[in-house]
Homo-oligomer: A and B are copies of this chain.
Amino acid sequence: MRQLPEAQLDAGSSLSTRERIIEAARELMIEFGVLEVSVADITHRAGVNVALVSYHFGGREGLMLSIAREDAKLALSDLARLSAADRPPTEKIRHHVTGVIHAYYKRPYLNRLLQKLIREGSAEAAREVGEFFVRPVAEARSAIIAQGIASGVFRNVDSRLIGYALEGACAQIFTSAASRQAVLGDGALNSELVERYAKSTADLIVGGLLASRAGGVTGEL
Q: Which residues of A contact B (CB under 8 A)?
A: 88, 90-91, 94, 115, 118-119, 126-127, 129-131, 134-135, 138, 153, 155, 157-158, 160-173, 175-176, 178-179, 181-184, 196-197, 200-201, 203-210, 212-213, 216-219, 221
Contact = CB atoms under 8 A, between A and B. Distances in A.
A194 to B, nearest CB: 11
Contact of A155 (B162, B165, B203): B203
Given A127-B178, A158-B200, A204-B217, 5 more contacts: A157-B200, A161-B173, A162-B204, A204-B204, A207-B208
A103 B175 CA distance: 19
Contacts of A209: 204, 207
Contacts of A176: 115, 118-119, 126
A173 B183 contact: no
Nearest to A141: B183
Of the listed residues A170, A172, A201, the one surrounded by the most CB atoms of chain B closer than 10 A to its CB is A172
